């Protein structure tokens, strides 16, 4: 990590999907001891609390153009983008706790303006590259990467007053195993680098991370890590809204975070989709905190 000061920002938002409970994710992560863990690694922690998320009177209504809760998602992400911008201007490392993965729209909107060529590692079972036209559900948590590429409703793509936030050649998706047809087409059209579970199984996580780090180091001036806990196998991270069996193991994920720490390339990060209602004794939040420890340099010896 390049900075010893970390600003924690919680985003208790669950409007990007239909399963309630993920808005309690930031609290679950804090309860799992994240502040103590990072302070023990000699980081100075400034917990900025949670973004205030206003709850509309009605939810789960498809608004214009097959987008669920468009206005509420846009409002929450606009607030988050501003808070991220302030954290980076204060020369701190922004660490965001979700909340569903739609919050990545605001995270990237706040981060990308500070870099000429921001890289993104999307650690996820899903591509999150749907648009309103390709989405089978209208859930915006399946769209944040597409939105950040400038694809989608202008209410989302223009958050923070500019777009796109990232370039397709600066993205690496790791752990994909559930992609919609429209996402597969877009990945091929844009040439986005993807390591599916097939590649991880075939060449191993060490090689995947070596290639990812080398690929992004050569073309970016900062790298954002967007880690969805459903990237891990449900056995290790059961408390997520859209689990997909056959995922990345707990140990492989630690290795990935350890290699990112050694490379020193990550300049911002978010951990999303922790849903304590679906969890087992806060297991998934504890996994998230353990992975943060490895990302920020925690070692056994």
**pLDDT tens-place string over residues 89-133:** 999 999 999 999 999 999 999 999 999 999 999 999 999 999 999
Q: Is the pTM of this model over 0.75?
A: yes
Q: Which of 23, 75, 128, 183 is catalytic?
A: 128
Top pLDDT among 253 and 55 is at 253
| Pairing of β 62-63 and β 67-68 | antiparallel
Q: Which of 14, 75, 230, 252 is catalytic?
A: 230
Is residue 126 among the annotated active site residues? yes
Q: Where are the domains of the chain?
A: 5-295
H/E stretch holding 146: helix 144-148
Q: Which of 14, 23, 100, 124 is catalytic?
A: 124
* β-sheet bridge partners, residue 178: 126
What pLDDT is stored for residue 19 in this prediction?
87
Is residue 47 among the annotated active site residues? no
What pLDDT is stored for residue 3 in this prediction?
57
Please write the tens of the pLDDT for every residue from 141-180: 999 999 999 999 999 999 999 999 999 999 999 999 999 9
Count Cα neighbours of 140 within 13 Å in the Cβ-side half-sphere: 35
Q: Which of 126, 153, 224, 254 is catalytic?
A: 126
CA 273 – CA 220 distance, rounded (Å)? 27
Q: Which of 50, 183, 228, 298 is catalytic?
A: 228
Is residue 124 among the annotated active site residues? yes
Is residue 128 among the annotated active site residues? yes
Q: Is 34 exposed, middle or buried (0-12, 13-18, 19+ CB in 10 A)?
A: buried
CA 204 – CA 129 distance, rounded (Å)? 25
Q: Which of 101, 153, 224, 254 is catalytic?
A: 101
Please write the tens of the pLDDT for every residue from 11-25: 999 999 888 899 999
Is residue 224 among the annotated active site residues? no
Is residue 254 among the annotated active site residues? no
C-alpha distances (whole Å) from 278 to each of 55, 59, 190, 219, 240 are 21, 20, 35, 39, 7
Is residue 46 among the annotated active site residues? no
pLDDT tier, 54 (very low <50, low <70, confident <90, very high otherwise): confident
Please write the tens of the pLDDT for every residue from 226-283: 999 999 999 999 999 999 999 999 999 999 999 999 999 999 999 999 999 999 999 9
Tokens at residue 20, please? 């309630």
Hey, how many other C-beta atoms are within 10 angstroms of the C-beta on 191? 10
Q: Which of 141, 153, 224, 254 is catalytic?
A: 141
Is residue 85 among the annotated active site residues? no
CA 104 – CA 235 distance, rounded (Å)? 25
pLDDT tier, 59 (very low <50, low <70, confident <90, very high otherwise): low
The CATH number given to 5-295 is 3.40.800.10
- For residue 22, give the 3-state DSSP assignment: helix
């Amino acid at each position: 990590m390049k900075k010893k000061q970390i600003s924690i920002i919680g985003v208790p938002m669950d409007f990007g999907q239909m399963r309630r409970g993920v808005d309690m994710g930031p609290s679950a992560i804090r309860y799992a001891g994240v502040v103590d863990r990072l302070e023990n690694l000699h980081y100075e922690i400034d917990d900025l609390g949670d973004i205030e998320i206003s709850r509309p009177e009605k939810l789960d209504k498809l608004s214009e153009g097959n987008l669920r809760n468009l206005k509420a998602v846009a409002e929450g992400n606009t607030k988050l983008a501003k808070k991220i911008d302030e954290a980076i201007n204060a020369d701190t490392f922004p660490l965001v706790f979700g909340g569903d993965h739609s919050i990545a729209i605001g995270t990237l909107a706040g981060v990308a303006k500070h870099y000429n060529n921001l890289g993104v590692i999307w650690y996820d079972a899903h591509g999150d590259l749907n648009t309103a036209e390709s989405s089978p559900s209208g859930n915006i948590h399946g769209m944040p990467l597409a939105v950040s590429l400038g694809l989608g409703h202008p209410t989302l793509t223009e958050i923070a007053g500019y777009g796109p936030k990232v370039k397709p050649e600066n993205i690496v998706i790791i752990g994909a195993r559930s992609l919609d047809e429209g996402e597969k087409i877009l990945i091929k059209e844009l040439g986005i680098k993807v390591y599916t579970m097939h590649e991880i199984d075939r060449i191993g996580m060490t090689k995947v991370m070596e290639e990812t780090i080398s690929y992004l180091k050569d073309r970016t001036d900062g790298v954002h890590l967007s880690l969805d806990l459903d990237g891990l196998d449900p056995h290790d991270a059961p408390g997520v809204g859209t689990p997909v069996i056959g995922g990345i193991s707990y140990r492989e994920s630690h290795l990935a975070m350890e290699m990112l720490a050694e490379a020193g390339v990550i300049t911002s990060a978010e951990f999303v989709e922790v849903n304590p209602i679906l969890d087992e004794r806060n297991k998934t939040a504890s996994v998230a905190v353990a992975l943060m420890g490895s990302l920020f340099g925690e070692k056994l010896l």
